[in-house]
Every structure is written in structure tokens, then in C-alpha cells.
Structure 1
Amino acid sequence: MKKEKTTNNGNLYRKFGIITIIAVFFLILVGGIVRSTGAGMGCPDWPKCFGTWVPPTDVSQLPADYKTIFAVQGREIADFSVFKTWVEYTNRLVGVLIGFLIFLTLLFSLPFRKTDPTVTSFSFLAFVLVGFEGWLGSKVVSTDLHPVLITVHMLVALIIVGVLIYAVARSHKKDLTYQDPTNLNQLNKWIAIILSLSFLQIIMGTQVREAIDIIAKTLGEEQRNLWIDELGMTFYFHRSFSIVVGILNIMFVQRVIKNTAPKHPARLWSKVMLALIGIVVLSGAIMGHFGIPAVLQPVHLLLGSLIVGCQFYIALLVNHSRVLGSNSNSTLKYQHQATT
């Protein structure tokens, strides 16, 4: 009976953990929508919005000198926009929801304290990081969207995803009984390369995003078709570098397939990753040739984040016995199958 209760608790944790991971990716998408719509300063204060917990729906609800009252770094804010205000406020509400979800994930991890305390420790780490992420969000607002803080804000979100993926994967390590890949050290070198390149691409992407924001203020939304021509070398390097990243990921997937058994889950997730890379390259090409459609900007960001999530999960799958502490049954028969 006790073992069955422990199993049920583990299943509940895993299901809720997966929901939380999906929710964090959704928050990344919402954050991308905030950026693509220029709503980052839709609420000039934090945690309230225009001094209230429920933001206004019309400028008449604000004092006449609201631009001065809610000035940021001594500069008057832009004209009130109900659309931008509520886009930003929705982003904050989703962030609060994520905080509650991660807190509940932490509570559901408590049964692992005796069987595998690492699961609980990483769930707690995710909870601490989401609090830090909220604090970063307040600094992004108070500094009028400082570029470095925006980039750090994005990277911390990816770290939270990685921490949650590790905790959830570790919670069902007993089910990971497939054999270790051959040439594991070589695979790990490739994993380190593609993860590093993906993070570099995301960082460059945020810099391109910053440049777009500046150009949008100068040229206006009605001249989106001219934005690309005004972007600097960071954009062209980001675009060209995607080809290199794509080729290296294809080479990595070939090695995963070569060195794992036919039913190894790393194979499936490697194919999912390649599909995401194909879609993100396509979305980038469309943005580059069709005036950076606003609807594609957050999608492009989400796809890049999903790719990093897949890469990290693949890293855990191929290292399950080392990193997750699961069972491994390497046999000569498996090694023969994996190399033929």
C-alpha cells in the first residue's frame, strides 16, 4: 500500500511538473507578444499598474498629469494605450500563475525527500528562480526596458525550464532502463557545442529584437518593410549563423541515431528538435523577406526556446544513468545493434 501511494505521488508530481513546464513556455510566448507589440512599458510601475491592481481601461481614469506621475528614470511615459497596458498586465498575471504552479510543483515534490531528495531540491530551486525572475521583471520596468536585463530575463526563464525538466525527468528515473549510448563522451561534446550555440543564437536574437524596437520607434509600424534594411551586422550574423547551427544539429542527430538503440527515446526527441529547427529557420526567413510580421516574432522566440528545451532533455536521456541515476543495462548485443 505504501509503495502504491508513493507511486501515485510520483505520477501526480510528474503530471503537474509537465503542466508547469508547458506553462513556462507559454509565458515565454506571452513575453514575446509583449515585445512584438511594444507593450513592455504598458504598465510603467510594478507590481501595480498605474498605481492600481486592476489597470485602467480608459485614459479618463487617470489623472491629467499621469505622464509625470508615472515617469520612469525622470522621463515622461508615452501616451496611455489600453491595448499595451492590458497586454503587459496579462503577461504579469501569467507570471503570477507560473509562480503558483511552481509552488504547487514544489509541494508535490515533498514525497521524494526520502526516496530521491534531489527532485525536491531542484523543485525548490525552480521556485527560488521564479521569484528571482519576478524581481528581474520589476527591474526591466524600472530601467525602461534595459537591453541587458531583458536578455538576462530571457536566459533565466530558460534556466527555470531546464531545472524543471531535470526534476521531472529524475522523478521517473526508474522507468529509464534502456541502455547507455556508445561513444557517450563524444555525444556529450556535441551536446555542449549545440547547447552553447543555441544560447548564443538566443542572445543574438534578443539583440536583434532590441534593434528592431529602436527602429520601430523611428520609422513607425507603417514602414515595417523598411526595418530589415536598417538592422546592423548582428541581424545578418544571427541569420547566417542559423545555417551553421542547423548543420551542426543535423550532424549531432546522426550521431545520436548511430550510437543508440532503435527504441531509445533520444532518437525521437532528436527528430522533434530537427523539426523545430526547420520551422524556426522558416519563420526567420519569412520575417526577413516579409517585413517582420508581428505575429511571427513571439512564435520565433518560442520555437528557439523549445529547441533549447529539447536539447537539454536529449542530454538527460543519453546520460540517464550518469545524471539521473537510473538503471542501465549495456550489453554486447546492444552495442552491436547501435553500431550497425
Structure 2
Amino acid sequence: MFVLELGLIGLCIALLPLSWVWVKADDNKFRKLVWITTFMTLDLVMFGGFTRLTDSGLGCPDWPGCYGTSSPFIAHAQIAAANALMPTGPVSLTKAWIEMIHRYFAMAIGVLIIAQTAIAWRARIKRLPLHVSPWWPTALLGLIVVQGIFGAWTVTMKLQPIIVTTHLMLGLTLLGTLGWLAARITPLPAYEPEAGRWRVAALAALALLVFQIALGGWVSTNYAVLACTDFPTCNGAWIPPMDFHHGFHLWRALGMDANGDVITQDALVAIHWTHRTFALVVVAYLAWFALKLRRFESLRRPANGVLIVILIQFLTGLSNIVLQWPLANAVAHNGGAAILLLFVVMLNFRIACSRPGRAVIPARDTAPA
């Protein structure tokens, strides 16, 4: 019964953007729906970072509800009892609400993607112009199901770092795929065939960024942000003592090493130092890449976006260390990585389309309402 209640909550949240898309004067409501789903997914990724950074991942220690109910209101007695047994533990009313709000919005995005899938297949059956295969939203629907499974494992496996990191990366995969789909059904600027020569460089930029985000996720899920307390050195040394074997052993419990012992400081330093050092490579490459692409009119805006977000990421990453990991700053750093991913995905899409014979989507077209 409470699962049905959860579904209704997700549906009610999704009805707000669905209603907004419906009443807006737009000739392609499907396009608007994809864009607003992309924006909400970005918000969800950032709120997921907030959930993790506030230690709210186990605010409700079961899944998908909270102590077998649809709301912390209903589970208030169980939450109070758990908090009384362990006042500094993972369960409190505030953390429970943070965790459940994250789940509610994840369900709402699932509803929006179901709506996309239904619209796309209706357009295919009725031969309506939609400029996108229905298999795109269908694949997104499959992806969000897998993401939900990892969300459940995140709770049931007690925040195991590899599960939480995979959950994060799947969320960013969903965001990036939605961004690609949104770009695919949006009219493009004038084509510049010479931009097509940068396809390999664009793919390299995406690969480097994804790997760096995964390293950042590993830092966050292992709570290794303050393993190095100074900059540019790490604990007073350019190459401090590090334990890469235990730091990057993937299958282990939170706070433990591969042998079941408490993870050492040297292992946490290895995690932090690797993310920090590889960031220099990624920043240098992305800055060079974006500066080179600014000469193309069709790529200038996303390239400028990359340059701006790189600067913000450097400043927020540095201040995480100097200011001892303030919450708002840490959430901004997580969100910056997601926004940077969107810009790089957009650049990859536009470069991939910079070739002769690519069908152009008209600026105004007809799509199912």
C-alpha cells in the first residue's frame, strides 16, 4: 500500500512540470518536456550530493519507503526511537526528510520519462513528426530503472563506496543522455564542417571528464575530502605517504579496507591526491580544448561555458580544502561537475553534427501535444 502512496507522491510532483509544459505556447511540447526533465535531473544530481554530504543516505534505513511507510510524518515514532538509541547516528527526522525528498523527486523524474516514452511511441504509431526515435526515451526509462536498483542497494548495502559511486555515475549518465536527446531535438546553429575535425578531441575531453568525476565520486563516498589539509602540497609534501592498494580496492564496506579493518589515513590520502593531481590534467586539456573551439560560431557558447565552469570548479575545489569543506561549497562543486558534463556533451553533439548531409531540425515544427 505504501508503495502506491509513494507512486502517487511522485506523480503529483511530476504533474507540476507536465502542466507547465502543457499550458505553455510551444509548437513542440515534447522538446520542452525533455529540456525540463534535463533541468530537473541536474537538480536531482545536486540534491543527491546534498543528501550524501549531510550524511542523510541512511536517514531512512529501508527502501523505497521510510520504515515501511511513505513519509517521515508517518514513521515519526520509529525515527525518534532510532535517534534516541544513537543521537549521533545516521537517523534523524531532518535526515529522513532529506532522503525521502530525494526519492520523491527521483520518482517524479521517472514519471516524466514515462511520459516522454508514451509520447514518442504515440508519434511513431501515428506517424507524427517528432525528429527522434522512440527508443531514445525507452532507453532512458531502462536506465532510470537500473538507477533505482542502485539507489536501493545504496541503502541496503549501507553506503558501500562502489555502490554509491556507481549510483552517482548512473545519475550523471542519465543527465548526459538527456542532454544529448535535448540537443538532438533542438534546432542547431549554422553548420561549420571544419568543426567536425575535432570529434576525436571532443571524445577525449568527455572521457577525461567522466574519469575525473568518477574519481571525485570516490573521494566523496569515502569521505576523503579533508585527507589533504593544505594546497598545493598535501599534508606538507608534494608526494605524501599513500596506500593505493587499500584506497582503490573497490569492493569493501564504508570506512573499512579490504581486510575489514578501519581504512588508514594513507589510503584516504591516496584517494584525495589522485583526484587532485588528475584534475590538473583535465583542467589543462579542457581549457585548451575550449579555447580552440571558441573560433567556431556554433561552438562558442558551450565552449565559453566550459571555461567558466572550469574556473568555478577550481575555486570551489580549492575552497573545500582551505575552508574545511563547507556544505554549500561542496554541493556547488558537485553541481559544477554535472554542468560541465552537460557542456561537454553539447560540444560533442554539435561537433558530431558538423558534417555534410546531416538533417537539420526546423526551428518550428509540429509535434504531438
TM-score range normalised by the length of the shorter chain: 0.7 to 0.9
Match in the other structure for 1:155? 169
The corresponding residue for 1:133 is 147
1:182-206 CA-partner distances (Å, limit 9, x unpaired): 1623x11211221111111111111
CA contact (8 A) 1:177 1:327 kept: no
The offset of 1:320, in angstroms, is 1.6
Gaps of 5+ in 2: 1-24, 236-264, 362-369
Q: Label 1:292 to 1:65 Cα distance change in 2 as closer, same or farther (>3 A).
A: closer
- Counterpart of 2:193 in structure 1 is 181
AA aligned opposite 1:178 = A
The CA distance in 2 between the partners of 1:322 and 1:46, in whole Å, is 47
State the Cα distance separating 1:212 from its structure 2 match.
1.4
Give the 3 Å change call, closer, same or farther, for CA 289–233 of structure 1 in structure 2.
Answer: same
| CA drift at 1:51 | 1.6
Residues 1:82 and 2:93 are matched in the alignment: yes
1:254 equivalenced with 2:291 (yes/no): yes
- Which of 239, 264, 269 is the matching residue for 1:232? 269
- Matched-pair identity in %: 24
- Say which SS state the counterpart of residue 80 (structure 1) adopts: coil
Gaps of 5+ in 1: 1-7, 69-76, 217-223, 329-340
User: Which of residues 116, 133, 137 is equivalent to 1:123?
Assistant: 137
In structure 2, which of residues 30, 39, 44 is the aligned counterpart of residue 13 of structure 1?
Answer: 30
Cα distance change of structure 1 residues 95 and 65 upon mapping to structure 2, 3 Å threshold: closer
The Cα RMSD (Å) is 3.2
Taking the aligned partners of 1:314 and 1:64, their CA distance within structure 2 comes to 51
Of the three residues 203, 206, 211, the one matched with 1:192 is 203
Does structure 1 retain, via aligned residues, the 8 Å contact 2:67–2:75?
A: no
Contact 1:41/1:144 (<8 A) preserved: yes
Cα distance between partner residues in 2 of 1:36 and 1:78: 14
Cα pair 2:120 2:130 within 8 Å, conserved: no
Question: Tell me, what secondary structure is at the counterpart of 1:295?
Answer: helix
Counterpart amino acid of residue 97 in structure 1: A
1:3-34 Cα shifts (integer Å, max 9, x gaps): xxxxx986211111110000000000110011
Deviation at 1:250, TM superposition (A): 1.7
Deviations 1:17-67 (A, max 9, x none): 110000000000110011110011111111111121112478645696899
Does the 8 Å contact 1:321/1:327 carry over to 2? no
Contact 1:195–1:311 (CA under 8 A) maintained in structure 2: yes
Matched, 1:40 2:81: no
In structure 2, relative to structure 1, the CA distance for the partners of 1:215 and 1:14 (3 Å cut) is same
Runs of 4+ in 1 over 6 A off after TM superposition: 65-68, 213-216
User: What is the DSSP-based 3-state SS (H/G/I as helix, E as strand, rest coil) of the residue aligned with 2:164?
Assistant: helix
Tell me the amino acid that sits aligned with residue 139 of structure 1. Answer: W
Q: What is the 5 A alignment of 1:242-281?
A: 242-258=279-295, 260=296, 262=297, 264=298, 266-281=299-314
How many residues of Structure 1 are paired with residues of Structure 2 in the alignment?
A: 298
Most deviating of 148-157 and 107-116: 107-116
Please, what TM-score do these two structures have when normalized by structure 2? 0.72
Is the helix fraction higher in 1 or 2? 1
The answer to whether the Cα contact below 8 Å between 2:58 and 2:91 also exists between their aligned partners in 1 is no
